[in-house]
Amino acid sequence: MLSLIFIIISAIFIPGVIAKIKSKIGGRRMPSVFQPLFDIIRLFKKGAIYSPTTSIIFKIAPIIYFSSVLMAAFFVPMAGQQGLLSFDVDFVFFAYLLALGKFMMIISAMDTGSGFEGMGANREALYSMLVEPAFFVLVGTLALFTQNSSFQDLYVNLHTSTQLSIIIGIAALYVITYISMVENSRMPIDDPKTHLELTMVHEVMILDNSGFDLAIIHIASWLKFAIYGTIISNFVVQSSWPIYIQIVSYLLIQMGYASTVGILESFSARNKMGKNPQWIIMLSAIAVVTFLTTLIITQKIILN
């Protein structure tokens, strides 16, 4: 339960921290860290408008998207604190909960009958398909390394006792960080601030959403950010540490994660559309190399 509470707390602050970092680097007046929350409250006060072209799919997709992301958060532990739900191979259920929400948003965008939203949905589907192997190979690597298959047991038993295992940990951290950028439609895959439909991905998919629906879509995105930040923190925070050190370390890593995203988006350009698939496949290649290295370390493969 404690992990879910801190995921929700982190989700409230992460968007504001990213905005402040980008404003500071850009030399603009920095908004309040709570400004995204104020924007959400304003959206809740507005009514949703639906095009006559759309069907029931468009109306229920935001709720399903939000529910699937919130349900996925139940499975994510925080260091030694177990997630609300846990069972063997729960990371597969976790991945497909997120996939369900994304699938609903994709068909919701297509349901509008807009060529631009259909184009964004096509890109979102492609990127998700390409990044999925990287996630499963990475988590499979950690499961092989720790001899455990649930999120909770996997991180509790993740120890870096040798130089090779430290390298594996760094590679895994790099891959999961950039997987989070792809899944959250951030740089270098997508620019959440662009207003050119031809180059938009996630933002063009939700152009027809408004009011309450748009608010819960944004909240779901915040939760997804916090979920991946929690997964990243689990590589650093150890279950053997005292609980107060775990909490402080977790919050610092989440703020560091948000700051890193803000800095990357301030100084890096977005990839050209044609290069995005190659870049995402590179993450899978790194994950495969990490997996093969783990096979050697665990002596599943013996080199003569």
Omega prior to 188 cis, within 30 of 0? yes
Mean pLDDT for the stretch of residues 35-58: 88
81 φ, ψ to 5°? -90, 120
- The mean of the pLDDT values for the chain is 83
pTM, full prediction: 0.88
Q: How many residues does the chain have?
A: 304
Residues 6+ apart with CB under 8 A from 57: 104, 107, 108, 111
Residue 256 within any structural domain of the chain: yes
Taking only the tens place, the pLDDT of each residue in 208-227 is: 888 899 999 999 999 998 99
State the greatest distance between any 2 C-alpha atoms of the chain, in Å, as a whole number: 68
Residue 16 structural domain: 2-297
How far is residue 210 CA from its own chain's centroid? 23
Q: Is residue 304 domain-resident?
A: no
Q: What is the pLDDT of residues 245-297, one digit of tens each?
A: 888 888 898 888 888 888 888 887 777 777 888 888 888 888 888 888 777 77
How far is the C-alpha of 172 from the C-alpha of 158, rounded, in Å? 12
Domain assignment of residue 254, yes or no: yes
Whole-angstrom distance, CA of residue 44 vs CA of residue 256: 30
Segment 145-153 mean pLDDT: 78
Q: Is the residue at 302 inside a domain?
A: no
Tell me the two tokens of residue 56.
């029931």
β-bridge mates for residue 78, sequence order: 81
164 in Cβ contact with 172 (< 8 Å): no
**Overall number of domains in the chain:** 1
pLDDT attached to residue 88? 83
**How does pLDDT run across 67-90, given as a tens digit for each residue?**
999 999 998 888 767 778 888 888
- Please count the other Cβ atoms lying within 10 Å of the Cβ belonging to residue 150: 20
What is the mean predicted confidence (pLDDT) over 136-149? 82
